[in-house]
């Protein structure tokens, strides 16, 4: 069997904002050709981790190796050129631009001239712009957005804008996609379509994917491996089925008492406890919660 190669290796990330310890000695690896999940309650530090990987945040300590290169000190655009593509938790599309324009804007990371120069048709750009438009059309077709290619993103439903965000990430010609909550706000049908898309990106386009996601059934369905973050630290890691039975993971999502709940039929149960109680019967692991229960689980000051 072919030995897996680490495409991404993260060593000992430390990120603080004032007294807030956002990431604490976080290490993880992503093998080439895998879909890896990064899960954890709200405020666990998942998006901050992506921001460190892509160079938006500069951690106080730690190293990021991507495709054999130490990118820890490189600016965001250099990391993108090396093959890190990203989507955003709060959408990276520009509402006033059309789908095609958004995708072409994303492509400019690899053109050597600015998007503005391309839009103004400055000397030396028109031939390349024509190529980009053709490539953009292919990507747009790939994601099934061709019917709305000339519509402004602001007028599109949320699911389509999310797909456009994904198309933009692909337009940077990445080796690895970092997806921040790709299923949030999607309908069940759209989430199902996303599973197919992610598998195809891995299997046909040979992309490696690191994905933040709260929709755990989707994570369990599509991920080869999962890391669980809690209060900026790695709580555990493993294959999806191990992870979703892990008592500490359940506790982290459902609150401290959830690991070994005392079932008392007469108690007034809050929503969190009801989720757990409803799903527990002797000998069976609790059903996996669809959403983390706690809002804004900010970390205590260090
Ligand atoms: N630029 C910043 N300045 C100060 N604090 C920050 C900054 N960015 C993130 N934080 C804090 O770091 C913690 C982790 O935030 P982060 O957005 O990474 O969490 P998350 O796991 O992505 O949560 P969610 O699931 O809600 O998206 C939070 O307490 C947040 O307020
Ligand atoms: Mg986040």
Averaged confidence pLDDT in the chain? 80
State yes or no: pLDDT of 249 exceeds 90.
no
Q: Which residues pair with 176 in a beta bridge?
A: 84, 208
Would the CB of 44 count as within 6 Å of ligand 1? yes
Range of the domain at 101: 91-173
Region for 217 from its dihedrals, namely left if φ exceeds 0, alpha if ψ lies in -120 to 50, beta otherwise: alpha
Other CB atoms within a 10 A radius of the CB of residue 68 amount to: 10
The arithmetic mean of pLDDT across residues 91-111, rounded, is 85
| Domain identity same for 64 and 206 | yes
| Domain identity same for 57 and 34 | yes
Phi, psi of 103 (to 5 degrees): -65, -40
State yes or no: pLDDT of 301 exceeds 60.
no
**Residue 201 alpha carbon to ligand 1 centre in Å:** 28
The arithmetic mean of pLDDT across residues 275-282, rounded, is 30
**Residue 209 alpha carbon to ligand 2 centre in Å:** 17
Alpha carbon distances (Å) from 152 to 91, 144, 155, 171: 14, 16, 6, 18
At residue 271 the predicted structure's pLDDT band, cuts being 50, 70 and 90, is very low
pLDDT of amino acid 61: 97
Would the CB of 215 count as within 6 Å of ligand 1? no
pLDDT of amino acid 39: 94
| Domain identity same for 69 and 180 | yes
Among the atoms of ligand 1, which is closest to the Cα of residue 51? 18
- Closest alpha carbon to 35 in 174, 221, 232: 221
Look at residue 296 and tell me if it is in a domain: no
State yes or no: pLDDT of 72 exceeds 90.
yes
**Residue 213 alpha carbon to ligand 2 centre in Å:** 9
pLDDT of amino acid 84: 93
State yes or no: pLDDT of 239 exceeds 70.
yes
CATH assignment of the domain containing 46: 3.40.50.300
- Specify which of 87-101, 124-138, 286-300 reaches the highest per-range mean pLDDT: 87-101
Ligand that comes closest to the CA of residue 296: 1
Would the CB of 89 count as within 6 Å of ligand 1? yes
What distance in Å separates the CA atoms of residue 285 and residue 287, rounded to the nearest whole number?
A: 6
**Residue 299 alpha carbon to ligand 1 centre in Å:** 9
In the chain, % of residues over pLDDT 70 = 75
- Specify which of 105-119, 138-152, 239-253 reaches the highest per-range mean pLDDT: 138-152
Tokens 């491996």 map to which residue?
225
Would the CB of 20 count as within 6 Å of ligand 1? yes
Which tens digits make up the pLDDT trace of 2-54?
567 899 999 999 999 999 999 999 999 999 999 999 999 999 999 999 999 99
| Domain identity same for 71 and 180 | yes
| Domain identity same for 75 and 110 | no
Region for 173 from its dihedrals, namely left if φ exceeds 0, alpha if ψ lies in -120 to 50, beta otherwise: left
| Domain identity same for 2 and 77 | yes
The arithmetic mean of pLDDT across residues 90-115, rounded, is 80
**Residue 89 alpha carbon to ligand 1 centre in Å:** 12
Burial of 97 (0-12, 13-18, 19+ CB in 10 A): middle
Ligand that comes closest to the CA of residue 292: 1
More confident residue, 299 or 157: 157
What distance in Å separates the CA atoms of residue 34 and residue 208, rounded to the nearest whole number?
A: 5
Ligand that comes closest to the CA of residue 38: 1
Look at residue 301 and tell me if it is in a domain: no
Ligand that comes closest to the CA of residue 21: 1
Contact 207, 36 (CB under 8 A): no
Which tens digits make up the pLDDT trace of 121-159?
555 666 666 667 778 898 999 999 999 999 999 999 998
Look at residues 173, 206, 230 and tell me which one is the last residue of a structural domain.
173
Look at residues 157, 173, 189 and tell me which one is the last residue of a structural domain.
173
| Domain identity same for 169 and 205 | no
Number of domains in the chain: 2
Which tens digits make up the pLDDT trace of 175-222?
999 999 999 888 888 888 889 899 999 998 899 999 999 888 889 899
| Domain identity same for 2 and 65 | yes
Burial of 213 (0-12, 13-18, 19+ CB in 10 A): buried
Among the atoms of ligand 1, which is closest to the Cα of residue 297? 29
- Closest alpha carbon to 302 in 104, 49, 17, 36: 17
What distance in Å separates the CA atoms of residue 98 and residue 151, rounded to the nearest whole number?
A: 5
| Domain identity same for 214 and 95 | no
Among the atoms of ligand 1, which is closest to the Cα of residue 296? 26
State yes or no: pLDDT of 260 exceeds 70.
no
What distance in Å separates the CA atoms of residue 276 and residue 64, rounded to the nearest whole number?
A: 38
What distance in Å separates the CA atoms of residue 287 and residue 46, rounded to the nearest whole number?
A: 23
- H or E element in which residue 130 lies: helix 126-142
The arithmetic mean of pLDDT across residues 216-241, rounded, is 92
| Domain identity same for 79 and 178 | yes
Look at residues 173, 194, 215 and tell me which one is the last residue of a structural domain.
173
pLDDT of amino acid 180: 94
| Domain identity same for 11 and 29 | yes
| Domain identity same for 76 and 218 | yes
Look at residue 31 and tell me if it is in a domain: yes
Look at residue 49 and tell me if it is in a domain: yes
């Amino acid at each position: 069997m072919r030995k897996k190669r680490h495409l991404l290796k993260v060593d000992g990330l430390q990120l603080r904002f004032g007294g807030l310890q956002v990431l604490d000695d976080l290490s993880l690896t992503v093998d080439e050709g895998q879909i890896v999940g990064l899960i954890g309650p709200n405020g666990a530090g998942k998006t901050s981790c992506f921001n460190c990987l892509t160079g938006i945040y500069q951690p106080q300590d730690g190293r990021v190796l991507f495709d054999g290169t130490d990118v820890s000190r490189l600016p965001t655009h250099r990391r993108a050129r090396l093959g890190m593509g990203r989507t955003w938790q709060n959408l990276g599309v520009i509402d006033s631009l059309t789908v095609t324009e958004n995708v072409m804007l994303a492509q400019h990371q690899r053109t050597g001239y600015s998007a503005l120069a391309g839009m103004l048709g400055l000397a030396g750009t028109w031939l390349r712009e024509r190529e980009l438009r053709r490539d953009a059309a292919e990507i747009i077709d790939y994601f099934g957005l061709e019917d709305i290619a000339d519509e402004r993103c602001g007028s599109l439903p949320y699911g389509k804008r999310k797909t456009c965000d994904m198309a933009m990430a692909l337009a940077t010609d990445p080796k690895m996609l970092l997806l921040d909550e790709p299923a949030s706000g999607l309908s069940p049908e759209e989430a199902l379509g996303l599973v197919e898309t992610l598998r195809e990106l891995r299997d046909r386009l040979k992309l490696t994917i690191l994905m933040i996601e709260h929709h755990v059934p989707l994570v369990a369905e599509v991920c080869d491996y999962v890391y669980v973050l809690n209060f900026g630290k790695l709580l555990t890691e493993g294959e999806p089925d191990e992870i979703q039975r892990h008592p500490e993971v359940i506790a982290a999502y459902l609150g401290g008492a959830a690991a070994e709940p005392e079932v008392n039929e007469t108690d007034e149960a809050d929503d969190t406890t009801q989720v757990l109680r409803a799903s527990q019967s002797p000998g069976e692991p609790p059903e996996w919660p669809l959403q983390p229960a706690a809002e804004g689980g900010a970390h205590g000051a260090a």
